Amino acid sequence: MGSGLTLGIETSCDETAAAVIKDGTEVLSNIVLSQIDIHQKYGGVVPEIASRHHIEAMFPVINEALAEAGVTLDDIEVIAVAYGPGLVGSLLVGVAAAKALAFATGIPLVGVNHIEGHIYANLLGGQEVKAPLVCLTVSGGHTDLLLIPRFGEYEILGRTRDDAAGEAFDKVARVLGLPYPGGPQIEKLAQGGNREAIFFPRGLLEKDNYDFSFSGLKTAALNFLNQAKQKGEEVHLPDFAASFQWAIIDVLTQKLMLAAEEHRVRQVVLSGGVAANGTFRNHVREEAGKRGMELLYPPVHLCTDNAAMIASAGYFSYLAGRRSDNALNAVANLRLGDY
């Protein structure tokens, strides 16, 4: 019997993260070192700068995760690392660190898909997740609607054809002069705003289509701001933010509900950074409730990038017999279900 302890490592974007979890579900430590302050002045993540900071922070963050969990490397049963999708230079730092540790200690290594990690964040809150389920993963890089018939099996029902939902939040926030990441900023600004004040277009709402498109919405929002500026009119920012946010939430929720009904699942699951949005969670909970479905989502701090979710996905992958070796490499555009 192993210790059931997994060391997770995550460096796919601008967070250097390490975590120790037990039995795939219990978080003993979860260290996330954000580089947001460094990237904020550029209005987004600068890959080269991110990689350099990952190199400096990686081992201190791993040591902190072990120390906070009160364990040493000798206690760890498996090392799990995100190897894609993401920024290749950033991913490489985590992958190299994980391979070095595994090689030096003989601890088994498992490469994890970052998106799969977001889904497994739902197992960390103590809630019971039961397949089959429909999952919507919405982050800065992805908008994927998935059917999960059994754990570890993914059928992609739809995905974005252009911008990811989080990316739309970030781009519009940037034009408003709000700091990166834009999602939480727009959510805050939208409080007290009227979501019906401005009608923004919803892309691809046909019934038989599970793909998403947010570039039309983004353009409409930017045009709205430009036209107001040209006419010298002042934009009521809470109304603008609430209407823009609502257009995204409305489309995401409608498609999620259609998919859940078609596949007759009892549970729907949210994951990824945009799932931290309170208005989104409340609306999906209400719509799921009307249909007798249960909605699950991770606690807010586990929605955005972290290593506990990577450790969870990695542990279950390890139990299923998967192992990675020293040839493991970063894959920038890794797809769900590819190993």
The residues binding ligand KG4 (CB under 6 A) are: 13, 139-141, 166, 169-170, 181-184, 187, 272-274, 276-277, 304-305
Shortest distance in whole angstroms from residue 278 CB to ligand KG4: 7
Tokens of 326: 């020293």
The string of DSSP codes covering 257-293 is: HHHHHHTT-SEEEEESGGGG-HHHHHHHHHHHHHTT-
Answer yes or no: are the C-beta atoms of 191 and 238 closer than 8 Å.
yes
CB burial string 80-101: b at 16+ within 10 A, e below: bbbbbbbbbbbbbbbbbbbbeb
From candidates 139, 143, 160, 306, binder to Zn ion by CB under 5 A: 139
Shortest distance in whole angstroms from residue 306 CB to ligand KG4: 8
**DSSP single-letter state for residue 195:** T
Q: At what angle do helices 278-290 and 237-262 cross, to 10 degrees?
A: 40
Cβ nearer to ligand KG4, comparing 101 with 240: 240
Shortest distance in whole angstroms from residue 53 CB to ligand KG4: 16
From ligand KG4, Zn ion, none, interface partner of 116 (C-beta below 5 to 8 A by class)? none
From Zn ion, ligand KG4, none, interface partner of 166 (C-beta below 5 to 8 A by class)? ligand KG4
Pairing of strands 5-10, 15-22: antiparallel
* Residue of 253, 304, 244, 248 whose CA lies nearest to 283: 253
From ligand KG4, Zn ion, none, interface partner of 274 (C-beta below 5 to 8 A by class)? ligand KG4
From candidates 305, 308, 309, 324, binder to Zn ion by CB under 5 A: 305
Pairing of strands 133-138, 143-148: antiparallel
Cβ nearer to ligand KG4, comparing 13 with 242: 13
Cβ nearer to ligand KG4, comparing 109 with 275: 275
Shortest distance in whole angstroms from residue 115 CB to Zn ion: 7
From Zn ion, ligand KG4, none, interface partner of 187 (C-beta below 5 to 8 A by class)? ligand KG4
